[in-house]
Amino acid sequence: MDKEFPCKASNIYDKNINFLFGSGASAAYIPTLWLSDNVTYETLLTHNDIKGQTNLENYILSFYYNNIIEKTFCIKPKPTPKNYSKTLNDYNKFLYELVSLLERKGSHQIKRGNIFTTNYDLFFETAADNVLNKKSFYFNDGALGFKERSLNISNFHLSHWHQGTHDLYKQEIPTINIIKMHGSVSWNKKDEQKINIQYPKTAPEKITLECNKKIQDFTTCLCETDENLSDYLELCQEDIDSLADFRVEYNRLAIVSPTKEKFSETVFQQHYYQSLRLLSYELEKPQTVLICFGFSFQDEHILEIIKRSLSNPTLKVFVFCYSKNSKQSINETINDSRVTYIYPKSDAHNISLDVFIDRIFTSDNGDWISWTD
């Protein structure tokens, strides 16, 4: 099977290499939006009983912040849980192997790989610092500047070179672009026209409430009873005030909230549609590969771009599915014979991030390099 497997390093190193990562990539450490089989944070925030109810919205977002956002800063917890170390180690391996793959490109080829992601966690950025201790490459987050680093989509077209002391030779350094389509916790809004990037050094504090209800109880109430949600929650005035203060801080985050009104701010709309155009541009190039992992294809705009790009006769799209069931649901969303699905044949097996990396890279170049936290 390995000899016939189409999506491995020896088959793609000389292509225009693109990856698309979704929340499944970090799911071992950062929970996804799903609260139950049929309910997500987005389900709650767009429910008719929630719309316009500021206190309820703030309450749901506070759980979203505590359970998901707080972890996306990727500050090493103390004590450090195994799932954090394992996830970061997998990202280390992926970046190391991707740089190694780009190094194999010929002198006439641009040594650049693109990572498109809807995640706003900082695992890639954290891993990049680790890999830079072992490999020479340029990790491009799209920002230029010194004291003030500002994001601009045009910065993803840069290349970097090493030149000899006397300029007798020059060698291109591999570049990895990280294009964050739904924002990042490292971003902050300068104004309605500019996004700055600054990486935090400490984890944010969690929101503490007197209310003893859990989000799962709230979800059960929403789905299985006719009880008025405002009455069920029983927020005291102290909780209401705390949630109002929290919402002010939350609104400063330059991320896409799990609501239907995802792009209510002009600066996000501009970046999102510019990143879509960049994705479309890359997928229209000859001899292009798009490898998807942990992505559910629920973003209709990204889905449409990929579907439209399949008219490119030299484009190869590979979708790694976490499970046999997820393969079925993704196949219903993007049902096209030109897409290759990689999925476990058994219900008992899953394709986790480490398995994904192994399937592409390790079958070609043997043992992993050793990593330490």
The C-alpha atoms of residue 178 and residue 139 are separated, in whole angstroms, by 8
pTM (2 d.p.): 0.91
Of residues 6 and 225, more confidently modeled:
6
Of residues 209 and 266, more confidently modeled:
209
Q: Are 28 and 352 in contact (CB under 8 A)?
A: yes
Say what percent of the chain tops pLDDT 70. 90
Q: What is the pLDDT of residue 178?
A: 98
Cβ-Cβ contacts under 8 Å for 185 (sequence gap 6 or more): 69, 72, 73, 120, 121, 122, 200, 253, 255
User: What digits encode the pLDDT tens for the residues 158-185?
Assistant: 888 887 776 777 889 999 999 999 999 9
- The whole-angstrom distance between residue 59's C-alpha and the CA centroid of its chain comes to 25
Q: What is the pLDDT of residue 150?
A: 93
Q: What is the pLDDT of residue 371?
A: 45
The DSSP output letter for 155 is: G
The C-alpha atoms of residue 357 and residue 362 are separated, in whole angstroms, by 7
The C-alpha atoms of residue 114 and residue 259 are separated, in whole angstroms, by 27
Triad 356, 116, 171: Cα angle to 5°: 90
Q: What is the pLDDT of residue 10?
A: 84
The region, left, alpha or beta by phi > 0 then psi within -120 to 50, assigned to residue 74 is left
CATH-assigned architecture of domain 9-29+79-135+155-182+269-365: 3-Layer(aba) Sandwich (3.40)
Q: What is the pLDDT of residue 212?
A: 59
| Alpha helix stretches (DSSP H) within 213-263 | 215-224, 229-233, 237-250
Mean pLDDT of all residues in 110-124: 97
Q: How confident is the model at residue 229 (pLDDT cuts 50, 70, 90)?
A: low
Say what percent of the chain tops pLDDT 90. 52
The C-alpha atoms of residue 344 and residue 353 are separated, in whole angstroms, by 13
Exposure string for 104-127, b = 16+ CB within 10 A, e = fewer: ebeeeeebbbbbbbbbbbbbbbbb
Q: Are 218 and 240 in contact (CB under 8 A)?
A: no
Q: How confident is the model at residue 373 (pLDDT cuts 50, 70, 90)?
A: very low
User: What digits encode the pLDDT tens for the residues 26-45?
Assistant: 999 999 988 887 788 888 88
Q: Which of 163, 124, 101 is nearest to 26 (CA)?
A: 124
**Please, which contacts does 39-47 make with residues 24 or more away whose CB atoms are closer than 8 Å?**
39/219, 39/222, 39/223, 40/258, 41/68, 41/258, 42/258, 42/259, 42/260, 44/218, 44/219, 44/222, 45/257, 45/258, 45/259, 46/259, 46/260, 47/222
pLDDT averaged over every residue in the chain: 86
